[in-house]
């Protein structure tokens, strides 16, 4: 068709499937297995539906203020969006606007190359080392911006602040985005570096550690100038992105720190238990500091294990991509879900049932 010459054709991101089967064990999209904070439930129950006739606050002030308070920054340093995917999309549009290629790891969140394609941003993928760690020296080249997750996805590998600082300080003329979707599960945030560097943007999400994937909340923290440029783009695109209910519930989640800490501690404990069991079953993996384990088996192909688990209604994530096509990404569920997983894996791998 002739009209096809005039349209924007893109290769879209493929989100993890969202099956809904009774009794399934869903360990494929890194959601939190526990509910959001009790304060969120209360805020939802108290929400007055008649408010919905009015537009929401375009600045989402109650949420940006709650986040500014929590992270001890000014509210002008906080940008909120409809999931961190929304925040990242705006950040790509705002900061990656030069002619030089932006840089990100070859194995990373698979949305980055999609946004680069959508916005026609040239990019260069920098290979991770054999052990999936980032070699910071590889980012000391001419570029139009840098983005990587820490811990990285889907590897779960955490980099230390020294490494992050090396990259940020070596690239003062471009914006460096650290996507901290999994930082709460045992990592050290790059937020303190904001005092030293004005080219750093830290992005986080409520989808994993705050158990609110279904609500869609993400945020960025950076210096005021970066955030005001992001707001200019946002307000040129869609000003009322976050609805009233989300703003209210998001603020309630941030205020319940005790519940947040308890939930994280439970997930981390389960993760360490799962590491032991998976290793006994012959899996090998790096030391994940996220809410998933990225594992490969010494004998069985990942794809085969994936299909078997699926037949048992246990969903994990498998990426048929170079370098990682023999790995499974397994989200950390409840203790019971993880025991079910280990039981099925034990059965499949033909070993003695070692789960008590
Ligand atoms: C889950 C994830 C996101 C997106 O999270 P939402 O806030 O749900 O949009 C962004 N980056 C990475 C690395 C993720 O794993």
* pLDDT at 352 > cutoff 80: no
261: region left, alpha or beta (phi > 0 left; psi from -120 to 50 alpha): alpha
- Span 125-138, average pLDDT: 97
- Residues 268 and 184: their CA atoms lie apart, in Å, by 10
* pLDDT at 354 > cutoff 70: no
* pLDDT at 142 > cutoff 90: yes
Q: Kindly indicate the confidence band of residue 356, based on its pLDDT and cuts at 50, 70 and 90.
A: very low
Residue 62, token pair as written in the block:
């109650």
Closest ligand 1 atom to Cα of 208:
1
- Pocket-testing residue among 81, 85, 104, ligand 1, by greatest number of atoms within 8 A of Cβ: 85
- Span 137-146, average pLDDT: 98
Closest ligand 1 atom to Cα of 88:
10
Please give the distance, rounded to the nearest whole angstrom, from the Cα atom of residue 336 to the centre of ligand 1. 25
pLDDT tens digits for 75-128?
999 999 999 999 999 999 999 999 999 999 999 999 999 999 999 999 999 999
Closest ligand 1 atom to Cα of 206:
7
Ligand 1 shell residues, CB under 6 Å: 83-85, 109, 149, 153, 179, 181, 205, 207, 213, 218
pLDDT tens digits for 280-315?
999 999 999 999 999 999 999 999 999 999 999 999
Within 10 Å of residue 33's Cβ, how many Cβ atoms?
21
* pLDDT at 16 > cutoff 90: no
Please give the distance, rounded to the nearest whole angstrom, from the Cα atom of residue 351 to the centre of ligand 1. 36
Closest ligand 1 atom to Cα of 205:
7
Q: What is the mean pLDDT of the chain?
A: 96
């Amino acid at each position: 068709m002739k009209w096809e010459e005039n349209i924007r054709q893109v290769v879209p991101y493929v989100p993890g499937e969202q099956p809904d089967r009774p009794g399934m064990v869903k360990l494929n999209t890194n959601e939190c297995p526990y509910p959001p904070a009790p304060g969120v439930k209360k805020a939802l129950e108290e929400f007055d539906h008649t408010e919905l006739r009015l537009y929401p606050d375009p600045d989402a002030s109650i949420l940006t203020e709650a986040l500014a308070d929590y992270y001890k920054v000014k509210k002008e340093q906080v940008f909120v969006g409809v999931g961190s995917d929304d925040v990242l999309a705006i950040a790509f549009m705002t900061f990656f606007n030069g002619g030089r290629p932006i840089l990100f790891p070859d194995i990373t969140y698979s949305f980055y190359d999609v946004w680069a394609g959508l916005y026609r941003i040239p990019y260069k993928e920098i290979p991770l080392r054999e052990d999936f760690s980032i070699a910071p020296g590889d980012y000391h080249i001419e570029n139009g911006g840098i983005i990587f997750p820490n811990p990285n996805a889907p590897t779960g590998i955490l980099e230390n602040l020294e490494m992050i600082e090396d990259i940020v300080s070596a690239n003062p003329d471009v914006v460096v985005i650290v996507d901290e979707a999994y930082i709460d599960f045992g990592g050290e945030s790059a937020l303190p570096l904001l005092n030293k560097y004005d080219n750093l943007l830290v992005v986080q999400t409520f989808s994993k550690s705050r158990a609110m994937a279904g609500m869609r909340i993400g945020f960025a923290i950076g210096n005021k100038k970066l955030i005001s440029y992001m707001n200019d783009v946002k307000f040129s695109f869609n000003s009322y992105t976050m609805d009233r209910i989300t703003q209210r519930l998001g603020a309630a989640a941030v205020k319940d720190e005790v519940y947040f800490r308890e939930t994280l501690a439970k997930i981390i404990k389960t993760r360490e238990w799962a590491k032991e069991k998976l290793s006994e079953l012959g899996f090998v993996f790096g030391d994940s500091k996220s809410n998933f384990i990225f594992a490969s088996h010494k004998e069985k192909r990942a794809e085969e294990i994936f299909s078997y688990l699926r037949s048992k209604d246990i969903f994990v994530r498998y990426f048929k991509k170079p370098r990682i096509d023999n790995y499974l990404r397994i989200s950390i569920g409840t203790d019971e879900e993880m025991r079910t997983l280990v039981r099925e894996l034990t059965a499949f791998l033909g070993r003695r049932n070692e789960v008590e």
